[in-house]
Amino acid sequence: MGEEAEYLDDAGEYYANRDFELQERNAKLHAKEQKKKYEKRLTAYELGQEWSALISLVSDLTDPETGETRELSENEKNYLLEQADKIGGDIKTKINGICKVFKNIKLEADIAEAEKNALQGEIDRLSKRAQARKNESDRVKGLICLLLDKIKEKKMKTELFTVYYMNTQKGIEEVKGFFNPDKIPVEFLKREISRSAVKKAIEEGRLYEKDNKEFPLSRGKLFYKENGTEKALEGVSYLGGETLIIR
């Protein structure tokens, strides 16, 4: 009976692993198919050698490990303008070429995003699987704690392992049901604006802007009424910007 049970356990583990491998292989195939389909719908623009300096500078601005792009220095801005002047043609021709550069770089970003999205389902599945196994291992560790507590021991050495309690770094947590921020000194509290609450108040009309032409000094400020008196929401700005659209 023991050998049969062991055999069944081994067989179950084998098929579980095979199932996982098949799912992983299918997910990768699906991701590749999605990437190919996406690439077919996109077109890269051909660019002459004269654009290589601009493309090279844009690449140098980006950290390949983090993907973060730093701001241009004044010298780099001037260099870009110089390169644009060297390319030749009128301003419309230059902007047309720069738009091609933009579309080509954006194309690479879109393909990477599509591939990431195709793999997201597999990532989520593996994350849940890893979390489940971690939770199970924590439960097993809890069993060891129960056994040690039962015999009132803090350490034990077995044939293969040594288990013992070790002090961990102390952490600061709010005690649920007892924490009251009004009873905590201000220096120990972190207070910040609730953007969602401000946005909701603007949508509901409880916070409002003034006409910039009639009240130019009120630009970027928000106001509200309290007991019939108008007050400014001090220390908070409400300003929009502009973004360039390339179609």
CA–centroid distance for 120 within its chain: 13
More confident site: 158 or 72 = 158
For residue 241, CA distances in Å to 37, 115, 198 come to: 36, 31, 18
User: In the chain, where are the structural domains located?
Assistant: 11-150, 181-232
Which pLDDT value is given to residue 99? 87
CA-nearest of 118, 105, 127 to 45 is 105
For residue 215, CA distances in Å to 170, 182, 219, 232 come to: 54, 38, 7, 13
Cα separation, 225 vs 233, whole angstroms: 10
Mean pLDDT in residue range 129-139: 92
**C-alpha angle 145/146/149, rounded to 5°?**
85
Which pLDDT value is given to residue 155? 92
> What's the predicted TM-score (pTM) here?
0.48
**pLDDT of residue 103 exceeding 60:** yes
3-state secondary structure of 49: helix
**pLDDT of residue 160 exceeding 70:** yes
Strand-strand pairing, 229-232 and 223-226: antiparallel
Cα separation, 112 vs 107, whole angstroms: 9
Tokens of 85: 């002047």
Q: How many CA atoms lie within 13 A of 100 on its CB side?
A: 15
**pLDDT of residue 147 exceeding 50:** yes
Which pLDDT value is given to residue 34? 56
Q: Which residues pair with 208 in a beta bridge?
A: 223
Which pLDDT value is given to residue 13? 52
**pLDDT of residue 168 exceeding 80:** yes
> Residue 36: pLDDT band by 50, 70, 90 thresholds?
low
The string of pLDDT tens digits covering residues 50-95 is 777 777 777 887 887 887 887 878 888 888 788 777 776 788 888 8
Phi, psi of 206 (to 5 degrees): -75, -25
- What is the rounded average pLDDT for all residues in the chain? 80
CA–centroid distance for 138 within its chain: 28
> What percent of the chain has a predicted confidence (pLDDT) above 70?
82
> What percent of the chain has a predicted confidence (pLDDT) above 90?
20
